Amino acid sequence: MNEILLSNEVIVYLLAETVLYLLLFIAFLVTLGLLKRWNFDAFTSEQFQLENRSYLVMTIILFVMLLKILLLPYFVYTIDRLSDLVPGAMCAAGVIKANAYGNPLLSLKIVILFLSGLWLSINRLDLGAKNYPYMKLKSWFFIVVFLFLSAEFILDILYFTHIETTNPVSCCSVIFGQTGGANGLPLGLDIPKLLILFYLLFALVVLTLLSDLLLLSLPATLFFAVIAYYAVVYFFGTYIYELPTHQCPFCMLQDHYYYVGYLLWGLLLFGVFFAIDAAVMQKIFKQPAETLKRNALLLLSLFVLLCSAYVAGYYFKNGVLL
């Protein structure tokens, strides 16, 4: 057994994932039975039993999904800690690229975070109504999410069992740094245009949320999330590290930078999620989404303010920009 699997963080993480997956597997089997026999209009003892069982299953899923949301930052913390064991890695960037499973796993986790959040919203709607109107929808949705969760669990195992502690990996300055005219930004963007897009898209997200143009808000928010990622890695991050050549999305999760990465990425992810959730709730489920919109506005504004504050703070302290 390699050193990686003996690390405390990995043991805790994999154990937690396994227990949660077993719970989800039981919930998946029961949900299949529920979907087969569910008939809310029937006054049979079987339907009464199914309703009781569905309440129990939905509670299990609710509990597991909430824990899965908490496990995402713990996963990032775990791979960050593994940088001590993997030669060449200075932070999680090198560890995540230690094998081909790392990046798909992290992307899948973010997709699952969004899907779980949507499931939680639909569940809240369903439990709030008297006749379980979304019972079938949320069960089918759970089955889809479960397929993603199964893929995630397999990738988790494959990823942690395939990290070599003898092969050196690249550090973040090699992965994200620029040499010889290389430009890591997409769509031919340079830093000034990236920043213009960043603030324009933020303004667009705010306006579309305020004016209920939620169909436009959805693509604008997703595009903002992508541009914000690049803006943080290639511009704002350099002010967090106070080093123009240090471009990394992971180093900011370390204690040298007061773990600000968790706050920054958390604000972005949850802000984007609430904006998407607001659009889905209002347009598809015809539900008022004022609280969700307020949450999205608050979190995304805090994210933009925090990013900008690092640049302003640096300029205020040193009188120059990087």
Partner 1 sequence: MKKILINILTFAIVVAVIVVLFLSLGSEEGARYVFKGNTEHKAVDIKPKEYQCSECNMDIEKLTYMAELITKEGDTYFFDDIGCLVLWLKNHTPDTHSMLTQTLDTHRWIDVKKAWYSRTAPTPMGYGFAAFEKKKEGFIPYEEMKLLMLQGKNLHDPFIKKKLLQKQ
Q: Residues 60, 158, 175, 298: which binds partner 1 (CB under 8 A)?
A: 175
Question: What is the spatial distance between Cα 212 and Cα 110, in angstroms, rounded to a whole number?
Answer: 26
Q: Residue length, the chain?
A: 322
Work out which of 8, 45, 131, 179 binds partner 1, going by CB under 8 A.
179
**Residue 119 or 234 with smaller CB distance to partner 1:** 234
Residue from the set 5, 22, 207, 321 that interacts with partner 1 by CB under 8 A: 207
Alpha-carbon distance 268 to 261, whole Å?
Answer: 10
Least distance from C-beta 189 to partner 1, angstroms? Answer: 5
Q: Which of residues 86-115 bind partner 1 (CB under 8 A)?
A: 97
Q: Is 185 in the site for partner 1 (CB under 8 A)?
A: yes
Among the listed residues 16, 127, 174, 298, the single contact to partner 1 using CB under 8 A: 174
Nearer to partner 1, 6 or 200 (CB): 200
Helices (H), ranges, 129-190: 135-161, 172-176
DSSP class of residue 234?
I
Contact 224, 272 (CB under 8 A): yes
Q: Binding of partner 1 at residue 238 (CB under 8 A)?
A: no
The number of residues that bind partner 1 (CB under 8 A) is 29
**Counting beta carbons within 10 angstroms of the beta carbon of residue 283, is it exposed (0 to 12), middle (13 to 18) or buried (19 or more)?**
middle
Q: Alpha helices, DSSP H only, in the chain?
A: 8-37, 45-82, 92-96, 102-128, 135-161, 172-176, 191-210, 214-231, 237-241, 260-283, 290-318
Q: By CB under 8 A, is residue 291 in contact with partner 1?
A: no
Phi-psi category of residue 183: left, alpha or beta, with phi > 0 → left and psi -120 to 50 → alpha: beta
Q: With binding defined as CB under 8 A, does residue 222 bind partner 1? A: no
Residues 21-40 within binding reach of partner 1 (CB under 8 A)? none
CA distance 229 to 122: 28
Q: Which of 20-28, 37-45, 181-189, 286-294 is the region at the interface with partner 1 (rule: CB under 8 A)? A: 181-189
List contacts with partner 1 (CB under 8 A).
97, 168-170, 174-175, 179-183, 185, 187-190, 193, 196-197, 200-201, 203-204, 207-208, 210-211, 213, 216
